[in-house]
Amino acid sequence: MASDDLTVIDNRTGREYTIPIVNGAIRATELRKIKVSEDDFGIMSYDPSFENTASCRSEITYIDGDKGILRYRGYPIDELAEGSSYLETTYLLFKGELPSRSDLESWKKSILEHTDINKGMYKLVEGFNQGGHPMSMLISSMGALATYYPEAKDVENPNMRNLQAFRAMGKVPTLGALTYRYKAGLPFVEPDPALSYVGNFLRMLFHEGKGSYTPDPVIERALDVLFILHADHEQNCSSNAMRSIGSSHPDPYSALAGAIGALYGPAHGGANEAAVRMLQEIGSKDKVWDFVKRAKAGEERLMGFGHRVYKNYDPRAKIIREVAEQVFSVTGRNPLIDVAVELEHIALQDEYFINRKLYPNVDFYSGIIYQAIGFSVDMFPVLFAIPRTSGWMAQWIELLEDQEQKISRPRQVYVGQGVRSYVPMSAR
């Protein structure tokens, strides 16, 4: 008779072990029971890069990479992108359900009232090297928020945790806009909480300082959709960093700085920056096939294709491609889109890429949209970090509320030298 457990026979000893299976997983500590002697530590699982290890149980985001499925709290990402707003989606991530109209208005107010930052933060940003990368500035700025909110260290207090979530989501677009304006040599623009979340962000970025500012509704909606798509993505590198740092119970701004640092890497949040640079290097449609041949020969790296989780078409990429055309109706057509479409067309018909399941991911088209709106390439990861802050904070709160979680401390398989005696310098 079938049962929800796993039978393991240790061929070293001939002993048999029964390990329970719960939610399709076994507890790694159950392997410790498998020993050759009483003083044996027991078996460990070796899993570089966490390819098949679950570090937590979560109710926030579901991904089926083989089928190209992404859902927030059970809701398909395409339905949320079509009908929801970013702030409504953040409510869903935190609360688990869609809000009523009054709940959403209260939620918006709680976030937008925290968009302002202490004037000392302006001086901090002005102290950075103006030629530095915006993500480096954002990492430092986010960590610096902890100096203004020392009470944020009270992570055991649910009300305090919620307050920090509102603060973080409210202030991160302001910090992102500060880095943009500083690098461009423009004066800072203070936030206007009377606008929408994305509208206020656009104003802080692009307002010329005279009269009122009204964001273009097409651009505003496009950026809102992109924010929805980037809000959370299960246990990715940066979310894992947020949880790992958060497990030692520092203030959330310190954990967020670490998560932003993880996102900064070109293998994660910096991938859309790399994808646009690749398309710029290709230059035109007629050069795509030659680039593809070089990529297949290992002479070039194909950026924006393939994903650690998705072995099918990234569902977010389909949505972003549609959004791109809407943006171009306002900004004019970005010629890189033609290069991208041709590259996708060739790659999806080539057995080399099909066999390796290399499909366009979220980074492939998002950078083209950002560039059309007017962002420099090095700002792309910042535009990723701003909406992902909501996902990081939702993951952080879930971590702290999970009674099974302790400080993250993975094991290792030691393969170094055995015991040796110290040799004095005179004898070497």
363 belongs to the catalytic site: yes
249 belongs to the catalytic site: no
Among residues 114, 88, 89, 115, the alpha carbon closest in space to that of 103 is found at: 88
Residues 133, 207, 307, 314: which is the catalytic one? 307
Tokens representing 250 are: 């520092």
Do residues 405 and 247 touch, judged by C-beta distance below 8 A? Answer: yes
Helix (H) or strand (E) holding 70: strand 69-72
Provide the Cα torsion 174, 183, 230, 87; round to 10°.
20
Distances (CA, A) of 318 to 78, 130, 346: 9, 36, 17
Tally Cβ neighbours within 10 Å of residue 264.
22
Burial group, residue 72, by CB count within 10 angstroms (0-12, 13-18, 19+):
buried
Between CA 39 and CA 18 the distance in angstroms is 21
Supply the DSSP symbol for 69.
E
343-354 residues labelled b (16+ CB within 10 A) or e (exposed): bbebbeebeebe
Helix, coil or strand: residue 64: strand
Burial group, residue 171, by CB count within 10 angstroms (0-12, 13-18, 19+):
buried
Angle at 408 between CA 402 and CA 410, to 5 degrees: 130
Residues 232, 251, 314, 363: which is the catalytic one? 363
Distances (CA, A) of 279 to 115, 336, 347, 356: 35, 6, 14, 21
307 belongs to the catalytic site: yes
Residues 5, 154, 192, 268: which is the catalytic one? 268
Residue in this structure with the two tokens 């959403």, named with its chain if needed: 104
What are φ and ψ of residue 72, in 5° steps?
A: -100, 120
Active site residues: 268, 307, 363
